[in-house]
Structure 1
Amino acid sequence: MLSFFKSESKAITIPDRPPPPSYEQIKEDVEATPDNDIMFRSRLRTESESSDEYFDALSEIDTSGDVDMEAEQERVYDQVVELLQLHQRLITAPESLESELKKLKALGHDVSEAVTDLREMSQSFVHGTEETVEFIKTDHLEKTKS
C-alpha cells in the first residue's frame, strides 16, 4: 500500500538553451518587421535603402528624422505611463469604492435617524399645540360663562 505513495525518481532533463541568433538572422528579422513596429524602428527608412546601408556605422546614419522619432517615442512613452497609472487606479478601485459605500451607508443610517427624530418632534409639537388650543378654548368658554 505504501508503494503507491512512493514516487519513482525520474531524472528530468532540461534541453540546452538554443544558440543566440546570428547577425544575418537578426538582420533578416529586422528587415521583415513592418515600418510601424516601434520596437525595431530606430529611424524611418525608405524603400530604396538596402539592409547594408541600414546597418552601417552610426556616423553614416542620417539623423534628420530622429527628432520626429524621438517625439513619437516620447508620446508613446507618456501614453504607456498614463495607462499604467490608470491600471493602478483600477486595481485599487474596488477597495476605495467599498470604503465609500460603507461611509454612504453610515451617512444614510444617520439621516434616517435624524428624519425619525424630526417626525417625533413634529408629532409632539402638533399634539402640544392641539392641547394648548383646547386649553385656550375651554378657558375662554369658562370666562364667557362667568
Structure 2
Amino acid sequence: MLGFFKSKSKSITIPDRPCPPTFEQIKEDVEVTDENDIIFRTRSRSDSDSSGEYFDALSELDTSEDEDMEAEQDHVYDQAVELLQMHHRLVSAPHTLETELERLKTVGQEVSEAVDDLRQISRHVSHHSESKEKSPPTTGTSQQKRTKVKH
C-alpha cells in the first residue's frame, strides 16, 4: 500500500549537513532583526560591543509592563503544544491506520460470513415453505394414526 509513494530510484544521496553559523553571523542576524521579533527581543540594543550580552535572560522578555505580550506568549505556547501533538498523531498515523485497516478487514469478513449464513437460512426456509405448500393436506384420521404410533 505504501509502495506507491516510494521512489523508483533506489540511490538517494543526502547533501552534507551545513556548517553551523559563526558567532559573527549570529550577531549580524540578531542586529538586523525587527524590533518586534519576539525571539530576538532584548531590553536594549546597542551597536557597541561594550554591552557584551545580546541575550540577557532576565530582561529578554520583560512582560511586567506589557500584559498583551504575556497573552501572546501563552497563545504562541498553546499553538506550539498543539503543533507537537499534531506531529505526534501524524507520525503514529500509518501504524494506527494499518491497525484499523486490519480490524475493518476482519469485521468485513465476519459480515460477509453472516450474510452468507442468512442467505443459506433464507433458502432453507423458503425451500421448506415451498415443500409444505406442495404436499397434500392431511386428514384427521391419518393425523390420529400418526399420533397413536408415536405414543
Q: Which TM-score applies when normalising by structure 2?
A: 0.58
Q: In structure 1, what is the equivalent of residue 134 of structure 2?
A: 134
Q: Is the 8 A contact 2:63 2:70 kept in 1?
A: no
Q: Which amino acid aligns with 2:85?
A: Q
Give SS of 1:39's match.
coil
User: Which runs of 5 or more residues in structure 1 are unaligned?
Assistant: 1-17
Aligned partners of 1:114 and 1:89: how far apart in 2?
35
Q: Which amino acid aligns with 1:118?
A: L
Q: After TM superposition, which residue ranges in structure 1, 4 or more long, deviate above 3 angstroms?
A: 18-21, 28-31
The structure that is helix-richer by fraction is: 1
Q: Is the 8 A contact 2:63 2:69 kept in 1?
A: no
Alpha-carbon shift at residue 107 of structure 1 (Å): 0.5
User: Which structure has the larger Rg over C-alpha atoms?
Assistant: 1
Bigger RCO (CA 8 Å, 6+ sep)? 1
Q: In structure 1, what is the equivalent of residue 65 of structure 2?
A: 64
Q: In structure 2, what is the equivalent of residue 101 of structure 1?
A: 101
Q: Is the 8 A contact 1:42 1:69 kept in 2?
A: no
Aligned partners of 2:104 and 2:111: how far apart in 1?
10
| CA-based RMSD | 3.5
Q: In structure 2, what is the equivalent of residue 77 of structure 1?
A: 77
The superposition leaves residues 39-83 of structure 1 with CA deviations (integer Å, 9 ceiling, x where unpaired) of: 11246x8xxxx748xx7x989x89522x22222122111111110
Percent identity (aligned): 50
User: Which runs of 5 or more residues in structure 2 are unaligned?
Assistant: 1-20, 143-151
Q: Which amino acid aligns with 2:65?
A: S
Q: In structure 2, what is the equivalent of residue 117 of structure 1?
A: 117
Aligned partners of 1:111 and 1:86: how far apart in 2?
34
